Amino acid sequence: MPAKNDPDRVRVKERKGIWRRFVRLFFRCRLPWLFLALYIALEFLFVNIGVDQTDATAQLFAGDTSAASVARLIGLIVANLLLGNLVVFVGAVTSARIDRNMRGVLTEKLMCLPLTYFKDDSPREAIYRILQNCIVITSTIMVFLIPVATALYKSASIVRRVFTHDWRLSAVMLAFVPVQIFLAFLFGRINFFLSSRDADLHAGLMHRLAETITNIPLAKAFAREDREEKKGEELVDRLYRVSIRGGWFDQFRDLGGVVVSLTQAVVMTLTGMSLLGSGEITTRGWITFFLFSSTFNGAITELMMYWNNIKIIQGGADKVAEIMDAMEEDYGGEQVEHLNGDLTLSNVTFGYDPEKPVIKGLSCTFPAGTRTALLGVSGCGKTTLTSLLMRLYDPQSGEVQVGGKNARDYALDDYRRQFVMVSQNDMIFSGTIRENVCYGHGDVPEEKILEALKLAGAYDFVMERPEGLNARVEEYGSNLSGGQRQKLAMARAALSSAPYMILDEPTASMDALAVSALMESIRRISEGRCLILIGHSPSVLTLAERVVVLENGKASFEGPLSEGLKKSDFVKALSKGEVSAE
């Protein structure tokens, strides 16, 4: 028996709201209605032909060997085979279209979610949801809804046909349905839990493997391969245990179904024989009943299987439904082409965890057209502050203002286009150098790209490559040095005409000689813009006209650099090289 604290211990109780989320998810997908209508019509036609074929077979077994009866049976068999192939083909096309539409809807949704969402759900797990769990709509329609409708239609057709021979036979067929429904309900809930746990563990394993592979050099450098291997093995073992438990419950479900079906078959056979012996039904009626009873049992078994399928599907769909229900960013507001006012934080409070604010009632200003150094020890909230300015996050209280107007009054897309940022994380995509430098700028003339590369100090290393601007950049820029990635990011910023520029540790990956050249480039690139420069080296002060020092979530000093050198202990220490990144 699994321990009580086992996170994967099977629970039959269903989480509240799963059906509501599931139904909402279903209606948000752009369904190919024409293909669905065609597929359903073909399925129902296939059922009708199947029922007629069973009836014709019973007629033949009862002794009717006339040419018309044999020809009818052969025609129905051929039609059944041809229509079956057509149903499979149309079903495959319909499934592919639903998958395509659902992946598109889910990708669009992820692009509209705020960054706060990805603090709780890692991007790698979101990738898993897109690649795997997004097939829930296809599974719901093609593996549950349509098959259930078809099985119900088939069951009703069979009961109706059997009723034409004797109502008591139909009653016997229907008597065992409640027992089958109970078993399906019980094991369906178990399957929901196991499927949900399986989806979570697979997403976690993808996250673990992606992180491990990305950081293999670090693991090898510290000889920690065994430790990383054990972390992965823990998830693999949990997946194994969940799979084994699922196998055991499937065996119990199948055994229960077999017992019910055997009992039902015995009762139905005895009833039919009794009616036949007393002359209350004909031989043809008995053969028809016997053939149809097997088909009916198959249809009911299919219905119960479909119920189990929908609970499995729900388990995988739960996370996708949570993504679709997540609050999107508000893109509404006043449209604007160009802003040119002071950036102001007015009594702003913010924390990734609302109970632990990083910024605490902060008020400060970054004047338009002025270069401001944003200073403070690591973790004091400098990058968080710039994220608030760009509205990557919204404050829990207070306002971010542009020229005295609340930043939230502007359309989000238009507002963010007023900013250009060079992050300390060197955001580089796989592709070409040209594509990376021009990212976000559309088609740019080559002479402008080359000019931007010169301004950023990237021209020489780019032109040394045989392919030049078309040189290939590997995933995460892994075939470039840290300094080269930083320079490409600076060249991208140089192409932008945004009035507000944020440089977060732009010299972090450069040597002293390169830093001096880059500072002069930044001076030219930032001319006429509001520049916010984050750094921990004295070089940032060579550009700054003003400084803002963050301490304990507030501005301990704000003012001209000359004043900061006199009044702020932090600025004085930084100017002498006595402040490190810590």
DSSP for residue 143: I
Per the CB < 8 A criterion, the answer to whether 422 and 504 are in contact is yes
Torsion sign over Cα 14, 16, 18, 23: positive
CA distances for 10 relative to 5, 73, 245, 281, 422, angstroms: 11, 50, 8, 50, 48
Cα 485 from Cα 428, distance rounded (Å): 7
> Structure pTM?
0.61
Per the CB < 8 A criterion, the answer to whether 541 and 549 are in contact is no
Burial of 102 (0-12, 13-18, 19+ CB in 10 A): buried
Three-state SS at 156? helix
DSSP for residue 15: P
Question: Which positions ≥6 away from 274 have C-beta within 8 Å?
Answer: none
DSSP string, 310-374: HHHHHHHHHHHHHHHHSPPP---SB--S---S-EEEEEEEE-SSTTS-SEEEEEEEE-TT-EEEE
pLDDT in tens, the chain (582 residues): 445 555 555 444 455 555 666 666 666 667 788 888 898 899 889 888 887 887 788 778 777 778 888 888 899 899 989 998 898 899 888 888 887 887 777 777 777 777 776 665 555 566 655 556 566 667 677 777 787 787 778 777 777 776 766 677 677 777 777 777 777 666 666 766 666 677 677 667 776 776 676 666 656 655 666 777 777 777 778 777 777 777 777 777 777 777 877 787 777 778 777 877 787 777 777 777 777 776 776 677 766 666 666 666 665 566 666 666 777 777 788 898 889 899 999 999 998 888 889 999 999 999 999 999 999 888 888 989 999 999 988 999 999 999 889 999 999 889 988 998 887 766 777 788 888 888 877 788 888 989 888 888 888 888 988 888 888 888 767 788 877 888 888 888 888 888 999 988 876 656 666 677 777 778 888 888 899 999 877 888 888 899 999 998 899 999 999 999 999 989 998 888 766 544
Cα 60 from Cα 376, distance rounded (Å): 92
Please list the alpha-helical segments (H only) found in 350-439.
Answer: 382-389, 412-416, 433-437
Number of helical (H) and strand (E) elements in the chain, helices listed first: 21, 12
All structural domains of the chain, each given as residue ranges with its CATH number in brackets, are: 18-325 (1.20.1560.10), 337-418+536-582 (3.40.50.300)
